[in-house]
Amino acid sequence: MIKRFTFILLLLATFQATGQHKFTATVYDAETRRPLAGTQVVFVANNDVRITDEKGKLSYEPQILPDTVIFSFIGYKDTTVVVRKTQEKITVRLRPTAIQTDKVVVTSQKSDENVKLARDEVFLSKAELMDLPALMGEQDVIRSFTTNAGVQQFEGMQGIYVRGGSQDQNLILFDEAIVYNPSHLLGFFSVFNPDIIENAKLYKSGVPAKYGGRLSSVLQVSSQNPSPEKVEFDGSLGLISLRAKCNVPLGEKTAIQLSGRKSYLNTMILPLVYSVVNPDKSVPHLGFYDANAKFSFAMNPRNLFSVSAYIGNDEFSMDQSQQSSVKHNLVRWGNSAIVANWLHSSKRNFITSTSVSCSESHFYLEMVQNYFSMTTKTGISDIDVRTVTNKKVGKNLFSFGAENLIQQFRLGDLELKLDSEKRVINNPDACISNEFSLFVEDNINVTDKCNVVVGLRSSLYSKNDSLTYINASISPRIQARYMLSSSSSVKASLSHETQNLHLVSLVSSALPADVWFPATGNLPPEKGWLCSIGFFRNFMENAYETSVSLFYKRMDNLVEFKNSLLDTYMHNFYDRITTGKGFACGTELAVAKKQGQFQWSASYAFSRTLRKFAELNDNHLYPASFDRPHDATVTLSYSTKSKKWKFAAYWVFTSGKAYSELSEMYLIAGNLVHHYGAMNNTRMPAYHRLDLSADYQWFIKDKFDAHLQFSIYNAYNRDNPYFISYDAAYSEDTQSYRIDKTITGLFPILPSVSLTLHLL
C-alpha cells in the first residue's frame, strides 16, 4: 500500500515537473501588431519544428533547458530567443524585411479590389489608417475619406457632404449605432478615436439594402474587439490633445477595452499662434472630450457577443474681439450611444448579426449681437433594433433581415430678443416616430465577368402625437459590374431612397445651429433617385489606380426656413419651414499610386448642387450653401527603407461657400430692416490648405513601440474665410446704414508635436 502511494506521488511529481517546463509564445507583426499564423518555430536542442496557430500562438514542452528557439516567417527577419526558465511566456515581434526575389505586397484587400468590387465603396483598414498623415497627433477617419472624389468636409462645418447631399443625408454608424454629429471642434477632429478603429467603409452609391433612411451615403465604422490574450496599452501626449487606450483580459473568452481623449487647444498652442499671426484678435475657445468602452465575450466558436458605449461633448465660443457686431457666440453639442451586438453562425452556414442600440445627440446655441440675441436647446434620440442574415447559395450571396427604429425629437424653445423686445417661440412638444423596415438582397455572379446586386427595402413609417401621420415606402436598388479585362471594369448603380427625418439650420452663418425633426403630413419624407456610372482601370500590375465617374441625383421634399433670418413674429415652428426640390450632378476623376516607398493620390470633382423652392428666391434655382463646384485633393507620403521615418503632405482646394449677401439696412417706423440679394448670390473666397506631417518610429527596450509625430496644419497660414459679420453706420441724412463687411478665419497655422506609445 505504501509502495503504491509512493509511486502515485512520484507520478504526480513527474506530471507537475513536466507541466512546469511548458513554453508559450505569441508571434506578432512588429508594425501592424497582428498575429502571424503559420510562423515556423525551431527548437534547436532536439531539432523539433512547430507551427503557430491562427492566433499566432504556440504552446510546447521543451525537453532540454536552456534551449535556443528560432522564429521564421516568409518576408520577415528571423528572431532567435533563448528559453532559460520554466513556465516561460514570451511575445515575439517579427519585423518585415526586403526580399530580393519576386516582390510580395501584403494588403488588407486584394490589389485589384477597386476594379472587381460591384459596389462603389471605399474601404479603410486599421493599417491603412495608421499610414495616413497624423495631423495634430492622430489620424482621422473622416478626413481620410475626403481624399476620394465626391466626398467633402469643410472647416468649421459638421459632418461630410457626399455627391451633392447635405450632412443629414449620410447615415453614419459606429458599431451599428447611429451617430448624428460625427465632428469634434467644428470638423477639426472626428468623434472616432483612431486607437480603437478596426476598419471603416463608405458607400457613395449602391448602398446595401440592410441600410436605408438617408438619401446620400452610408459611413460604417467598426471598432476593434478587445483581446483576451494580454494587457495592451496605447497612449499619446501632444500639444493639442491627449488620448489613452487600455485592453484588459477578463478571462480566456472575455475582455474589455477602454479609451478616452481630451483636447486642450486653448491651453498652449492656439494662444501662442494667435499672439504671433493674429495679435489683434482674441483666441476662440475650442474644446472636446470623449470616451469609449467595449466588452466582448466569445461564448463559443459560433457565438460572439459584444457591448460598445460612447460619450462625447464639445464647446465652442467666440467673443466680441473676433467680430465687431457679434458680441458673443456659444455652442455646445455632443453624442452618446450604447449598442449590443450578437454574431451567430449556424451549422448550416447561416450567419446572423443582431444589434440593439440607443443613441442621443444634443445641441445648445447662445448668440448675442448688437441688437439681437437668441438661445435654444434641441436634440434627438433613438432606439434601433436590426437583424441581418447572410447565406451563401451556389454563386449567390443572399441576405435578408428587418429593422425597427424609434426616434424622439426635442425641437426646443427659442428665446429671442430684438432691441428691448423679448419673445419666446414655443415649438411643439417632444414627438416620437417609428419606422419598421424589411429588406432583402441578392449578390449574383452572372458570369465570370458580370456581377449584379439586386436589393429591395420596404418601410412603414408613423408619427404619433397631436397629428398622426403614416407613410409606406419601397426603395429598390441595383448595382452592376462588368469586367472589360483583368485590370479594368465598368460599374453602374441606380437606387431610390426615402428619408423620414429633416434637418434645418437656425442661422445662415457657418456656425452649427441644427434642428432635427420628423416627417409630417405637411412636411413629407425626403425622396431621391441616385444614378452613377464609372470606369475603373489599373496599370502596371495594380500599382496605379485610376477612375472616372459620373453621377446624377434628384431629391424631393427638401426643407428650408422661409427666411434667411429668424422671424420673431411667427409662433409655429412648422409654419416657418417650406419644402422644395434639389438637383446634383458631377464628374469625378481620381488617380493613385498605392505601392512602394513613395505613394500618392490625386482627385478632382466638378459638381453642382442646386435647390428650387416655390417660396424662396422667386422659385428660381439657386446653389445650396455647400455647393462647391471645384474640389481637388492631393496626398503624398514617403517612407524610408528602414520604415523609421514617414513623411506625408495633404493639400485641398474647394470653391468658396455660397451665401446671401446683405445689400442694405434701413429704418422703417423705427424698426431696423435688412435687405438681401438673391439666395446664395455670392461666394466667399476659395478655400485651400496644406498640411504636413512626419513620423519617427523606434522601439524602447523592445517593450514599447514609440512614435514621435510632427505636424503642421495650414502650413502656409492662409486666412481661410469662416465667419462673415456686418457693421452698420447710421446716416441721419439718408436714414440708412452704411454696411461694413468683415470676413473672419478660424484656424491659422497650427504646429503640433506628440508622442505615442504602444505596449508590445
10 Å CB burial of residue 668 (0-12, 13-18, 19+) is exposed
Sign of CA dihedral 172, 562, 684, 630: positive
412 CB-near residues (< 8 Å, 6+ apart) = 376, 377, 378, 379, 427, 515
What H or E segment, with its residue span, contains residue 137? none
Q: Dihedral of CA 453/220/201/606: which sign?
A: positive
Burial of 155 (C-beta count, 10 Å sphere; 0-12/13-18/19+)? buried
CA dist list (Å): 503 to 334, 379, 518 = 16, 11, 9
The 10 Å CB-count burial string (b at 16+, else e) for 423-444 is eebebbeebebbbebebebbbb
The total of other beta-carbon atoms located within 10 Å of residue 88's CB is 19
Contact (Cβ atoms closer than 8 angstroms) between residue 443 and residue 397 = yes
Return the DSSP state at 618: G
Amino acid making up residue 226: P
SS3 call for 9:
helix
Contact by Cβ (8 Å): 156, 187: yes
- Share of the chain residues as helix, strand and coil, in percent rounded to the nearest 5: 10, 60, 35
Q: 669 φ, ψ to 5°?
A: 55, 40
Task: Average pLDDT across each block of 10 residues of the chain; the chain has 760 residues. List them in order.
Answer: 42 40 76 74 80 78 78 81 72 67 42 75 80 75 88 82 90 93 83 89 91 92 87 86 91 91 80 71 80 91 90 81 58 92 86 94 80 80 94 85 93 71 68 94 91 94 80 93 92 94 68 76 91 92 91 94 55 77 95 89 95 90 92 92 87 90 69 74 90 88 82 90 72 68 78 84
Continuous segment of H or E residues that includes residue 550? strand 544-561
Cell 419644402, residue located: 579
| Reported pTM | 0.81
CA dihedral 245, 250, 252, 254 (to 10 degrees): -70
Rg, C-alpha atoms of the chain: 29
CA-CA distances (angstroms) from residue 253 to 225, 228, 230, 288?
Answer: 12, 6, 12, 34
Give φ, ψ of 590 to 5 degrees. -150, 145
Q: Measure the CA–CA gap between 484 and 448, rounded to whole angstroms.
A: 11
CA–CA distances in Å: residue 344 to residues 37, 104, 630? 24, 35, 46
Which CATH topology does 117-220 take?
Answer: Ferric Hydroxamate Uptake Protein; Chain A, domain 1 (2.170.130)
3-class secondary-structure state, position 186: helix
Compute CA distances 737 → 661, 665, 677, 734, whole Å: 15, 5, 16, 8
**Three-class secondary structure of residue 311 per DSSP:** strand
Fold matches, 2-94 and 221-759: no
Nearest to 481 by CA among 504, 506, 505, 454: 454
Adjacency order of strands within the sheet including 79-83? 48-51, 40-43, 67-72, 79-83
Residue 202 has what pLDDT? 92
Are 646 and 639 in contact by the 8 Å Cβ rule? The answer is yes
| Superfamily classification of domain 221-759 | TonB-dependent receptor, beta-barrel domain (2.40.170.20)
CA distances in angstroms from 555 to 287, 528, 531, listed in the order given: 36, 4, 12
In the DSSP assignment, the letter for residue 136 is: G
Round to the nearest angstrom and report the end-to-end CA distance of the chain. Answer: 53
Per-residue 3-state assignment (H helix, E strand, C coil) for 358-420? EEEEEEEEEEEECCEEEEEEEEEEEEEEEEEEEEEECCEEEEEEEEEEEEEEECCEEEEEECC
Q: What are the distances in angstroms from CA 93 to CA 71, 565, 653?
A: 10, 61, 42
Q: In this structure, what DSSP letter does residue 685 have?
A: P
Distances from the Cα of 70 to the Cα of 26, 48, 85, angstroms: 13, 11, 17
CA 80, 81, 85 angle in degrees (round to 5)?
165
| 217-223 vs 170-174, strand pairing mode | parallel
Domain range list for the chain = 2-94, 117-220, 221-759
Nearest residue to 402 via CA among 210, 531, 569: 210
Give, in words, the CATH class of 2-94.
mainly beta
Closest CA to 186 of 757, 760, 747: 747
